[in-house]
Amino acid sequence: MCADPALSLATWRDADLVLVGADLAGALTDLGPPRRAGVHVVGAPTGDEAFRHALGLGAISVVELPEGAGWLSDVLADVGERASPGRLVGVIGGSGGAGATTLACALAQWHATRGATLLVDADPLGPGLDRLLGMEEVPGVRWEALVETAGRLGARSLREGVPRRHGLGVLTWAALRRRLDLATARRVLPAAIRGHDLVVLDLPRQADSLGELVDRCDDLLVVTPTTVPGLAATARMVAGLGREGRTGLVVRPGALSDADAARVTGLPVVAAVGDQRGLAASVDRGLGPLTGRGPLARAARDLLAAA
């Protein structure tokens, strides 16, 4: 914080965020600071003058107080988190019933004991991630509520608002009739990675928004059974995505080999997940798929260590 416009130039370039008081914006504009991102003019309503100074500074916005106090609080809360954003790992099934949603839940459960984790349901036709984890009754914000909001979404607001248990946050739908609003997802995902060490995105196999969601992922895991129909479907889906780099194949038991899976799909095999005893019972009891040291736990450990 600096009350002298001239002295503020010493840290102008290096600061994560620059908030310029409306009363000092004119004096600072006269000094001609270099253009940079992340500049906002903040203060009581001052009419057109504040906007003229904001243009001179290359500011992103003019935030009037007290109306913009909530926005300002979220921005300040995000400053420390923005320096080291989390990773976004997408999980998608190469064919129907491959087990992608189960793997997404297992990854999130495993990481939740080690760092801030958010599991995001992007598949409107899926079973509902809260149900697989026994979190249907946990209070918190769902997709429907976020669609009704506008403007910038703060990382802290999202982190504290979603249903959360044992360190794991889950964003899914409340109603049976579901639709993924892409505009809302564009606000949610940046806030999610600012506020969490890991965000796991359970992706739909078919959606108008699939290409953009996949492009946002740091890593993409494609789950497929090593069967002839499963690999054929996976190969078509992978070709349609057109993604290059940081994409791996997670194989499930079948008649074909891991080498066959890699050859058919063109993706490297990064993990193999065998059948897990008691999986259905664990999910039915609301415990989620990750229990003990079974195949899912080993796969989650290895995949996240490599991510």
What is the tens place of the pLDDT at every residue in 94-140?
A: 999 999 999 999 999 999 999 999 999 999 999 999 999 999 999 99
What is the tens place of the pLDDT at every residue in 56-94?
A: 999 988 998 888 887 787 777 666 655 567 999 999 999
For residue 274 the two structure tokens come to 């065998």
Strand partners, 64: 43
What structural domains does the chain harbor? 5-67 (no CATH), 85-306 (3.40.50.300)
| DSSP E strand boundaries for the chain | 18-21, 39-43, 61-64, 87-93, 117-121, 164-165, 168-171, 198-202, 219-225, 247-252, 269-272
Q: pTM here?
A: 0.79
pLDDT tens digits for the chain (307 residues)? 677 878 888 888 888 889 999 989 999 999 999 988 889 999 986 678 888 888 999 998 899 888 888 778 777 766 665 556 799 999 999 999 999 999 999 999 999 999 999 999 999 999 999 999 999 999 999 999 999 887 778 898 999 999 999 999 999 999 888 889 999 999 999 999 999 999 999 999 988 889 999 999 999 999 999 999 999 999 999 999 989 889 999 999 999 999 999 999 999 999 999 999 999 999 999 899 998 789 999 999 999 987 6
Cα–Cα distance list, 287 to 66, 109, 252, 283, 291 (Å): 45, 10, 22, 6, 8
